Structure 1
Amino acid sequence: MKITINTILFCLVMFSVQGQIKQKTENVVLVTLDGFRWQELFHGADSSLMKQQKQFKDSELKNKYWRDDLSERRKTLLPFIWTVIAREGQLYGNRQLGCKVNVTNNQWFSYPGYNELLTGRADNERINSNDKIYNPNKNVLEFINSQPEYKGKVAAFTSWDVFPYIINDKRSGVFVSTGNFPIKGVNLSEKEIILNQLINALPNPLGDVRLDAFTFYYGLEYMKKHKPRVMYFAFDETDDFAHAGEYAAYLNSANYTDRFISELWNFLQSDAQYKGKTTLIISVDHGRGVDAESWKHHGQKIAEADQIWMAVIGPDTKPMGEIKGDHQLYQSQIAKTLAAFLNINYTSTSTEGVVVKSMFTGK
């Protein structure tokens, strides 16, 4: 049999086509909870830290979040994560079961963490503070927004007002909403008008940081009106309350953020553009300490602050629940994995992380 160059090329093309698996994901939503520990995610409320709360009676907080059974305790704190994602998605980071997730940057606080998460690589030389400096590194949101199919269909709603600098909205062209002030625009919805009234009327103990409820509901209204293909919600209150040593408020914030995610997922399953075609990724920027004092803090001097977690649910993810066994994942893998769900090969000079293949294959 005579084999020609054309025959070889034809076989290669057919092999390539057959090897490609058509993914169902057409949209991706990324959610982060600033500084929310893996300990509460996988174990629920910490009884030793609940005892510190002076503004709440021990019995009140215990009745709300404490259950002797671990599975019930964590489900009480985070019902959506432990009834829906644990059944239909994947959860990484329970170090007691051998599954580890870490940051690769050596700073272990917010801006460096978000830079690594969004770009796929740590930048310890240039990104080593929380200062409002425009990020010189291009990120995955920017990369996707540069693709003709996604141009103008990438957005971020954030509580912390440093995010326009982290995402570099001026260069990237990504729409970033942040700050503790009313949203602007024409043809505001009824809910947006009400939110604008409330944000001016309600006291905000976090100063320039927008309360997470406003971030979520402003963002949800944006999704309903503009139908972005990639959406990022960055919540912040868990970190603020932890720094203040307010464990009750930290737990409350995590609990109602879980409710926000539940409401978000219900919307995604009810909307024609998103239903059955959207992957949700959830993670954090850094970890925290473990004892009565260090849980309030993070950074290089806190030994456990590099320990994080991640979760995923969507039409291309095998339902495996809590991942057990010898696994080591890194924050730097999130950016490339996010793009891979859209069949986009995220390439950038700042990228080192590789795709988390088990989110697609289960192996």
Structure 2
Amino acid sequence: MKNFKRILCIICYLGVMVAAQCQEKNDTKVILITLDGFRWQELFMGADSLLVANEDYVQDTASLKKTFWRDTPKERRETLMPFFWSEVASMGQLHGNRTLGSKVNLTNTMWFSYPGYNEILTGAADDARITSNDKIPNPNTTILELFNNTSEGKGKVAAFGSWDVFPYIVNEERSGVPVNAGYEKATGDDLTEREKMLNDIQRQAPIIWESVRLDVFTHNYALEEMKKNHPKLLYISYGETDDFAHGGFYDFYLQAAQRTDAMIKELWEFTQQDEFYKDQTIFLLTTDHGRGTQPLKTWKSHGSGIEGAGGVWFVTFGKGVAPMGEVHEEEQLYSNQIAPTVLQEMGLSIPKKMKGSPMKL
């Protein structure tokens, strides 16, 4: 009888331990962030020497050089992205500095936005059906939809984007995932005072691009969602870097990148003081495509005809991430690995349709 009780106690203890481990795994929250068309060159080397003083792409070269130019790439990148290089580099991982042999590539052959976002969010390229940036509902299933279809994830997923195509990329109508993108305002019967204010200011603010709003609205709508509803899986896409680049405004491109760095820092700091997110949140950051370098004017462009536009980057930090810093060894990662990595970190099964394998963080 004593042995039986002892065995029973051991079984109960093991059961409690397993349950606790499962609960800990399920408590993981993921913030997935993209910076549209932001080159790996600026992330890892800061302001480009061929562009920062180029009057074809900069209005006030003296002012821009004073703000962003420093003697070494290390100093320049720290000036451009201070949060990434003063904090993320010490607690997380930065992949994609091709000068060190660390490579991150797209697997789709289009090298522009909708195919890039589809690959990131679904774990597989779809060159047969995703061939344009048109507002076509995505036939593929994103990780946002997968999580929203679980009992744990229902109502705990949200997406925010500056580009107005995201409701189609996420397939908001089919997936049931709420998407606030483009010039959409916050809706519902329980709007906070801050959401009401954002709605008013967004309506009053100037429109620079017809299909892309300023990132300040995307960011603050997303942050308010985190405070109010605490989504377990949140996707945010900042867009200014790509649109300023397309316009040939290198000064505005750099300024947008620096603002985004500060916004991401604000998100991180919020998660570290919020009981729901603290010590339970992992951040994953990337871009939907690269840009050209040679000839110089191709920095404004991307697509299959632009050399180097398939080269991207990947950054991660937060819960369970090994603090590798900037990766200095040869490696080859792909954008289709991000979706299965998110599912793995959240303790969800990975569909066979996903072509990428989860990354070891």
TM-score by length of 2: 0.91
2:309 matched to 1:305?
yes
The change in CA–CA distance for 1:53 and 1:33 in structure 2 (over 3 A counts) is farther
The separation in 2 between residues aligned to 1:342 and 1:206, in whole angstroms, is 36
* Structure 1: tracts of 5 or more residues without a match: 1-9
SS at match of 1:273: coil
Aligned Cα root-mean-square deviation (Å): 1.9
Map of 1:65 onto structure 2:
68
Any conservation in 1 of the 2:292–2:300 contact (CA below 8 Å)?
Answer: yes
The separation in 1 between residues aligned to 2:55 and 2:150, in whole angstroms, is 49
The change in CA–CA distance for 1:42 and 1:170 in structure 2 (over 3 A counts) is same
Q: Report the Cα offset of residue 73 of structure 1.
A: 0.8
Any conservation in 2 of the 1:116–1:122 contact (CA below 8 Å)?
Answer: yes
Map of 2:7 onto structure 1:
none
Map of 1:83 onto structure 2:
86
Q: Deviations over 1:55-100 (max 9, x none)?
A: 5322100010111122111011001111111010000000010100
| Partner residue of 1:48 out of 38, 47, 50 | 50
Q: Report the Cα offset of residue 27 of structure 1.
A: 0.4
2:259 matched to 1:252?
no
Map of 2:154 onto structure 1:
151
Map of 2:201 onto structure 1:
198
* Structure 2: tracts of 5 or more residues without a match: 1-10
2:107 matched to 1:112?
no
Map of 2:177 onto structure 1:
174
The separation in 1 between residues aligned to 2:150 and 2:184, in whole angstroms, is 31
2:335 matched to 1:331?
yes
Q: Deviations over 1:202-253 (max 9, x none)?
A: 2121123111100000111111011100001011111101110000010010
Amino acid at match of 1:252: Q
Q: Report the Cα offset of residue 348 of structure 1.
A: 4.8
SS at match of 2:312: coil
Any conservation in 1 of the 2:53–2:65 contact (CA below 8 Å)?
Answer: no
Correspondence list, 1:1-363, <5 A: 23=25, 26-53=28-55, 56-291=59-294, 292-349=296-353, 351-357=354-360, 359=361
The separation in 2 between residues aligned to 1:25 and 1:308, in whole angstroms, is 30
Seq. identity, %:
49
Count of aligned positions: 343
Q: Report the Cα offset of residue 48 of structure 1.
A: 1.1
Amino acid at match of 2:32: L
Amino acid at match of 2:250: Y
TM-score by length of 1: 0.91
The change in CA–CA distance for 1:277 and 1:125 in structure 2 (over 3 A counts) is same
Any conservation in 2 of the 1:120–1:331 contact (CA below 8 Å)?
Answer: yes
Q: Deviations over 1:25-63 (max 9, x none)?
A: 610000000000000000001121122346532210001
Deviation above 4 Å: which 4+ runs of structure 1?
20-25
